[in-house]
Chain A
Amino acid sequence: MSQVLHTPPPTTAPPAAEEDLAALAARHGLSVSGARPSLPEYVRQLWARRHFIGAFATAKLTAQYSQAKLGQVWQVMTPLLNAAVYFLIFGVLLGTKKGIPDYVPFLVTGVFIWTFTQSSIMAGTRAISGNLGLVRALHFPRAALPVSFCLQQLQQLLFSMAALVVILLAFGVPPAASWVLAIPALVLQFTFNAGVSMIMARLGAKLPDIAQLMPFALRTWMYVSGVMWSIDQLVGKHSDLPSWVAPVLQANPAAVYIDLMRFALIDSFHASQLPDHVWLLALGWALLAGVGGFIYFWKAEETYGRG
């Protein structure tokens, strides 16, 4: 037995000995360390780690303001201050609000929903490259990281939404049954964000430079997504625009999720301002990004430790 079991020394191991090791491993049912699991197995592993994903997201969220005197109050204060700045610039100074009823709720909803997508993607880009220590120390399906960061942003958004409800009521928007639609809209947006984050996480792991470019790409995306202005009105005002501009602007996923939320929450935002088949669009983007991003991320699972 011992004859077979000995390990050949490194350098010039003959082919026979090489087979020995592989055969020995096979005979005792050893598996290759660090091999990528199959897709269903990967999903199962990820599901098994759901408590870790949740705990990690919450921990990151609370750690964020733990040194501040006001503590978790900042969870609500930060988005409110953000909204105030945008109101000052776009509402008061630039006068974008012309013709938009309930401009403050319109703007604040847009800013919050956009921030959710933006921060998720930014965090996703650095999910692997910024946590190499964790990736090189512990075992878990790596998709747990981008998903966890998106979950953290979702929790952050829920704080913002609480503030948003106060703003809505303060500006005289009545509570309505349609507010329930916010939930499916958020679920779809979360799926979309998580999918894009996973794509960016893989790209960012290979090429950390992407994290430098993302703020510019995201800012451009924000300005074309109708966060502070109404795509609907822009199209109405400039009838000389080519006919494809409006549908393209409106089909952009960020615009779809923002407008869905406005439609759900603000009574003066009518269904006519939404593009056709808006729920289908929202679902399609979510599935495309969610499933595609997950598979794309999984394909490089075993390489993330390399950095």
Chain B
Amino acid sequence: MADTTSMTTNPNTHPNPHPAATTGTTGSAAGGPIPTVIADRVDIVYRVNGTGAGRGSATAALNRMLRRKQTEKASGVRKVHAVRNVSFTAYRGEAIGLIGTNGSGKSTLLKAVAGLLPVENGRIYTDGQPSLLGVNAALMNDLTGERNVYLGGLAMGMSREQIKERYQDIVDFSGINEKGDFITLPMRTYSSGMAARLRFSIAAAKDHDVLLIDEALATGDRSFQKRSEARIRELRKHAGTVFLVSHSNKSIRDTCDRVLWLERGELRMDGPTDEVLKEYETFTGGPDKPKPKPKAKPKPKPTPDSAPAQSQAPDSTSGRTTASP
């Protein structure tokens, strides 16, 4: 990849200063936009054991235990710097897409926003408790769909009464029972599509302040995808802020009005959906018409002095154009 050349600077590579305006929803605009998630120069580092090279990993492991002070690389622990120095502010009423090639740190960043992964440096501030949409890890394949609805609901922090209340909706939404009484069968008997539908239905049953979605839209058949997109929009209405990780530019375009583009753990662009996606499509070898690089090429990254000055006017206008219907 021609990294340096494609690292273009768009005038809008900074957060939208008038995000509440972009959505055209909620009455929060009265007192100015209300931030719900603030990432302040966040670094996230994974440490991986057992990568010792050279003398065999058993000796490397012994070495590691005996001599704690040596460099981590020599001791067989490798650091993976998954997210580097990322800052952004998300406001109430925004739907923000996270894009980037595989392994660029999107999901990791999302987990850190949810407070599930500790950050190495920096801080993430949130309003209320952001939650990841997804209960897969709490469900058990050997249990019936019905028991999984309860287990998943409880795992997300719902009360038994709340689950009972929404049980029928969850089952209906999943469409599991359209082809017979499948909800009373163990989940291991479901097809992967059916299981995915049930998982999404359980996860989407709860209202969230800040909702984080990790490629949840790509499950199920076409009709279920439509339904789940509608549900996401509904959740978005209730939720303060929505983050969506997806490789489908279409679903990003449909749902989000602002996009963060991560590449190799760094925040490469932050702006209105159309502009960022255009750059991203160029970068990834674009679908339609790869455009020549914009002129503002010299700066590899937005710098603090350039961003605010350049961007306010175009940003607020272009933000409005991408407002969701």
Contact = CB atoms under 8 A, between A and B. Distances in A.
Interface of A: 1-3, 5-14, 17-18, 21-22, 24-25, 28-35, 48-49, 51-52, 55-56, 59-60, 62-63, 66-67, 131, 133-140, 302-303, 305-306
Nearest to B14: A9
Contacts of A139: 114-116, 129, 131, 157
A215 to B, nearest CB: 20
Question: Which 9 pairs of residues, A with B, have the shortest CB-CB distance?
Answer: A34-B115, A25-B125, A2-B17, A30-B125, A63-B142, A33-B115, A133-B137, A52-B154, A134-B137
Contact of B125 (A3, A10, A33, A59): A33
B140 interface: yes
Nearest to B17: A2
Contacts of B155: 52, 56, 134, 138, 140
B33 to A, nearest CB: 6
A62 B143 contact: yes
A61 B41 CA distance: 44
A9 B154 contact: no
Interface residues of B, number: 69
Contact of B156 (A3, A10, A22, A138): A138
B117 interface: yes
A260 to B, nearest CB: 34
Contacts of A59: 140, 143, 147, 151
Contacts, number: 190
A77 B257 CA distance: 59
A92 B323 CA distance: 81
B41 A34 contact: no
Contacts of A303: 118
Interface stretch (B86-94, B247-255, B290-298): B86-94
Interface in B104-142: 111-119, 123-127, 129-132, 134-138, 140-142
11 contacts: A10-B41, A10-B85, A10-B86, A12-B304, A21-B40, A30-B36, A66-B143, A66-B186, A131-B137, A134-B137, A306-B47
A29 B128 CA distance: 10
Nearest to B107: A136
Given A9-B304, A133-B136, 17 more contacts: A6-B15, A7-B89, A8-B307, A9-B301, A10-B41, A10-B301, A13-B304, A30-B37, A31-B126, A49-B157, A52-B157, A56-B154, A56-B155, A133-B137, A136-B117, A137-B132, A138-B132
